[in-house]
Amino acid sequence: MKNSIRVFASASATTGLVLLATSSFTIAIAFGALVAGAVFIALKNRSAHSESHLIAAWPEVIDHLMSGIQSGLSLSESLVGLATRGPEILRPAFAEFRDSLFRHADLELALQELKSLFHHHGSDQIFEALLISKALGGSELMSILRTLGDFLRQDLALRREIEVKHGWIKNSAHISAVAPWILLLLLSTQPSTAIAFSTPTGGMILIAGLFMTAVAYLWMNRLGRLPQTPRVFTQQSSAKHMRQKSVMR
């Protein structure tokens, strides 16, 4: 709801300003639509940035777990401590884990709920490693966590390097997409240009321009999107693990 209000407010403000500058309702509507799309995409990308911060926090989670276990805490106590001492972006989720653990007194069930909450391949690897170490007695837990932490850091560094290089290309594409509209805004201050684009033919040209800008932007984002690592430890594999465990019992 808040995002819709922001999009509408931005589009309305832009339409009003361009209308005052150009005295052309057609051009003002075109720029309002353009800004509405830009604001919508920016708000959508904000969630992607939040996911990036979430991914970057997992190595720190492993460090906290290793530190807690080395100091003599149990695995459950180390996980519960992340609700207050872990990365700030993850604390609400681990607070839910703490409540679930206190409510059910079942570490495996609480970890499964936590894994379902994050639904990310990096968190899947951590929680599955904890479940495996719990099933095997935990003798290799520190070695597993250390290896997993190194792997996640290498993967994160590689993705950041790729994102930086993609960012240069995407910024160039953004400038290329915006440049014609900036030129149109400057030319529209002249009455002859405003009158020309106020005709049906001018309106069709603006609609075609908006359509081609949107298609070019979406295609650019599709080409520049990094592939997502598939989740191996999904709910199906977890359910299979639980069935096998019940059979063994």
pLDDT tens track for 213-227: 888 877 877 776 666
**Domain end residue (candidates: 105, 131, 156):** 156
pLDDT band at 197 (very low <50, low <70, confident <90, very high): confident
3-state SS of the chain?
A: CHHHHHHHHHHHHHHHHHHHHHCCHHHHHHHHHHHHHHHHHHHHHHHHHHHHHHHHCHHHHHHHHHHHHHCCCCHHHHHHHHHHHCCHHHHHHHHHHHHHHHHHCCHHHHHHHHHHHHCCHHHHHHHHHHHHHHHHCCCCHHHHHHHHHHHHHHHHHHHHHHHHHHHHHHHHHHHHHHHHHHHHHHHCCCHHHHHHHCCHHHHHHHHHHHHHHHHHHHHHHHHHCCCCCCCCCCHHHHHHHHHHHHHHC
Asked if 67 and 152 sit in the same domain, the reply is yes
Between 47 and 82, whose confidence is greater? Answer: 82
Q: What is the pLDDT of residue 248?
A: 40
Asked if 171 and 49 sit in the same domain, the reply is yes
Domain that holds residue 113: 58-156
Asked whether residue 247 is assigned to any structural domain, the reply reads no
**Domain end residue (candidates: 133, 156, 179):** 156
Asked if 39 and 15 sit in the same domain, the reply is yes
Q: What is the pLDDT of residue 92?
A: 87
Asked whether residue 239 is assigned to any structural domain, the reply reads no
Asked if 117 and 165 sit in the same domain, the reply is no
**Domain end residue (candidates: 132, 156, 180):** 156
Asked if 62 and 152 sit in the same domain, the reply is yes
Asked if 6 and 42 sit in the same domain, the reply is yes
Asked if 170 and 49 sit in the same domain, the reply is yes
Asked if 142 and 172 sit in the same domain, the reply is no
Model confidence pTM above 0.75: no
Q: What is the pLDDT of residue 144?
A: 80
State how many domains the chain has. 2
Asked if 120 and 39 sit in the same domain, the reply is no
